[in-house]
Amino acid sequence: MDRAGIPNAVITAFTSIAYNVGTNRIVYGGNFTNPVGNLDLPLDREKEYRRSILLKALEAVSVPVSEPTIFEVDQSKEG
């Protein structure tokens, strides 16, 4: 999609796999069973964590990249 001019990001717990296959924008999310959340958090904090992952993905698609780049969510407020 990037080659067609459509920026995109992959949200995954498996950043090494995404990196090795050449995904340009990789957003690290949660664990493999729930990459866009953290079920161990209370509901209100879990919703905020989900939002932070999605906002990071939106940030990632707005950044020009020329090689695989990993974007991480600041989890210091989430744990």
How do residues 40-71 score in pLDDT, each as one tens digit? 999 999 999 999 999 999 999 999 998 999 99
pTM of the predicted model, to two decimals? Answer: 0.85
Mean pLDDT of the chain: 90
For residue 5, the model assigns a pLDDT of: 86
Query: How do beta strands 10-12 and 69-72 pair?
Result: unpaired
Residue 32 has pLDDT above 80, yes or no: yes
For residue 78, the model assigns a pLDDT of: 47
Query: Residue ranges per domain, the chain?
Result: 2-72
Contacts with 38 (C-beta within 8 Å, 6 or more apart), sequence order: 30, 31, 46, 49, 78
Residue 11 has pLDDT above 70, yes or no: yes
Residue 20 has pLDDT above 60, yes or no: yes
